[in-house]
Amino acid sequence: MGYVEWNCPKCGKKNREACNAWVYGSPIRNCKACNSEYFDNRWREIALEGAEPATKSPKLYLLATLGFLVFTIVCAAWLITDVRTMGSYPVKLAGCVFGGTIGTIGCFVIFLRIVLGYEEKQNKKYYEESLQRLTDKAYVKKLISYGYTVPEKFR
């Protein structure tokens, strides 16, 4: 689970809110400080815009995993060479090994989630939530008033 942060356009106070990785949800947000309503285009109604294509592409994450793995191996080999020859190592190089390892693991986890069907299951859940919001005509009118494109079947 991630977080999005923003400053309220009305009062300027910082807000922080938990979100899913693809920021699916209502783009109509409320400030926690002043309770004013505004439109945040980072949030997406999945029933209207569709799922993020990256959630359906295991190939992308497999390639990213392999890329990070190669990067990590090269950095680790360089690090080992430096330790053997100089007796010490650059901290930045150790950071590259650490970052590459995190990238490899992260991309591999997402790859597995897509291949095993967990991403599709999550997308369906968010899609159903989006459809539920779109059955409320007042909500649809608010979306339209903010300039959001809503197909006729939801109006």
* Residues 62, 87 within the same domain: yes
Query: pLDDT, tens digit, for every residue of 106-148?
Result: 999 999 999 999 999 999 999 999 999 999 999 999 999 999 8
Give pLDDT, residue 75: 95
* Residues 58, 111 within the same domain: yes
Instruction: Look at residue 131 and tell me if it is in a domain.
Output: no
Task: Please give the residue that has the higher pLDDT: either 21 or 154.
Answer: 154
Q: What is the DSSP string of 14-51?
A: EEEEEE-TT-BS-SEEE-TTT--EEE-TTSB-HHHH--
Instruction: Look at residue 15 and tell me if it is in a domain.
Output: yes
Give pLDDT, residue 83: 87
Give pLDDT, residue 144: 94
* Residues 40, 75 within the same domain: no
Task: Please give the residue that has the higher pLDDT: either 108 or 17.
Answer: 108
* Residues 79, 40 within the same domain: no
Measure the CA–CA gap between 77 and 109, rounded to whole angstroms: 24
Query: pLDDT, tens digit, for every residue of 64-102?
Result: 999 999 999 999 999 999 888 888 778 899 999 999 999
C-beta of residue 43 within 8 angstroms of C-beta of residue 26: yes
Strands (E), the chain: 2-7, 14-19, 28-30, 37-39
Give pLDDT, residue 1: 60
Tally of structural domains, the chain: 2
Segment 4-22 shows an average pLDDT of 87
What is the domain extent for residue 26?
A: 1-50
* Residues 5, 45 within the same domain: yes
* Residues 60, 81 within the same domain: yes
